[in-house]
């Protein structure tokens, strides 16, 4: 970062966002000391940030426990992103059609760092083992949508992403070796789609394809959930993969016409 960039950087805003991001499923409510520790700031800064966020309506204090928690107003920021995201508007009818064709839940994810973020979802009436609402985040290295996205990048970019990732074993089926993941990505490039068979969640299998932007760079992935209770990997690849690939191509074509 240059000196000019440093002069423009607003540390107070950074701290305020750090406080908002500190709340999650493991830290649903926090006292002031916990907020400071989770956000990586001192208690004085945490107090100022919490007071400001509370005044703006993004945080509230429970009347009995005196612990802080997020309010629904925080969702306005995420909703505004989805409302302004042209890709979501373009993809929705194709995702709906894919869900109708396959009879399974379809999803659109976009990259953020080393993760993929759910930005659109059409849920099938059939049982699915894992609920992933809009805004959920999944790692790239061990998911169908992540590997589909990575497959459309250059080799150096893929290796750099894997080296920067914490390759944890999520289930007994998770691939954690860089070389074996690279081999899966090479297979994805050859076939045009990626598959994740219970590497992130048991019972959860997905078929995914990358969506390329106007410059030929990947911008997102589309994937279908194929629960192992209903699908074998062979059947999922044979019956679902062609539809997923076609959906990704249709979205890409529509993006180019905008």
| Superfamily designation of domain 85-256 | GAF domain (3.30.450.40)
Query: What are the tens digits of pLDDT across the range 34-55?
Result: 999 999 999 999 999 999 999 9
pLDDT bucket at 22, cuts 50 / 70 / 90: very high
Query: What are the tens digits of pLDDT across the range 84-129?
Result: 999 999 999 999 999 999 999 999 999 999 999 999 999 998 889 8
At 6 the pLDDT is: 80
Q: How long, in residues, is the chain? A: 258
At 258 the pLDDT is: 54
At 3 the pLDDT is: 47
Residue 257, pLDDT > 80, answer: no
At 215 the pLDDT is: 84
Q: Where are the domains of the chain?
A: 3-74, 85-256
Q: Do domains 3-74 and 85-256 have the same CATH topology?
A: no
Look up the CATH architecture of domain 3-74.
Answer: Orthogonal Bundle (1.10)
- Does an H or E element contain 204, and which? none
pLDDT bucket at 214, cuts 50 / 70 / 90: confident
Cα separation, 22 vs 45, in Å, equals: 14
CB < 8 Å & 24+ apart, contacts of 152-158 = 152/210, 152/212, 152/217, 152/218, 153/217, 153/218, 158/182, 158/185
Of the candidates 147, 142, 152, 145, the residue with the CA atom closest to the CA atom of residue 108: 145
β strands within 71-214, DSSP E: 106-112, 115-122, 137-139, 194-197, 205-212
Cα separation, 70 vs 145, in Å, equals: 29
Q: Are 159 and 178 in contact (CB under 8 A)?
A: yes
| pTM to 2 decimal places | 0.90
Q: Which residues does 219 contact at the CB level (< 8 Å), separation at least 6?
A: 87, 110, 111, 211, 212, 213, 255
Query: What are the tens digits of pLDDT across the range 9-21?
Result: 999 999 999 999 9
Cα separation, 1 vs 171, in Å, equals: 39
Cα separation, 9 vs 246, in Å, equals: 44
């Amino acid at each position: 970062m240059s000196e000019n960039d440093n002069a423009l950087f607003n540390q107070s805003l950074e701290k305020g966002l750090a406080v908002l991001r500190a709340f999650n499923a493991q830290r649903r409510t926090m006292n002031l000391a916990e907020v400071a520790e989770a956000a990586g700031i001192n208690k004085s800064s945490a107090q100022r940030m919490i007071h400001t966020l509370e005044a703006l309506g993004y945080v509230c204090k429970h009347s009995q426990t005196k612990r802080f928690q997020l309010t629904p107003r925080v969702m306005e920021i995420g909703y505004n992103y989805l409302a302004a995201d042209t890709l979501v508007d373009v993809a929705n009818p194709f995702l709906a059609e894919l869900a109708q064709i396959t009879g399974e839940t379809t999803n659109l994810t976009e990259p953020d760092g080393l993760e993929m973020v759910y930005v659109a979802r059409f849920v099938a009436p059939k049982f699915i083992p894992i609920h992933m609402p809009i805004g959920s985040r999944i790692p790239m290295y061990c998911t169908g949508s992540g590997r589909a996205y990575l497959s459309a990048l250059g080799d150096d970019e893929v290796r750099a992403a894997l080296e920067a990732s914490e390759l944890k074993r999520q289930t007994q089926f998770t691939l954690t070796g860089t070389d074996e993941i690279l081999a899966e990505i090479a297979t994805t490039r050859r076939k045009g789609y990626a598959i994740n068979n219970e590497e992130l969640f048991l019972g959860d299998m997905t078929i995914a394809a990358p969506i390329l932007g106007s410059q030929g760079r990947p911008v997102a992935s589309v994937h279908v959930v194929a629960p192992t209770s209903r699908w074998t990997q062979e059947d999922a690849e044979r019956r679902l993969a062609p539809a997923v690939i076609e959906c990704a191509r249709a979205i890409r074509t529509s993006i180019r016409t905008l």
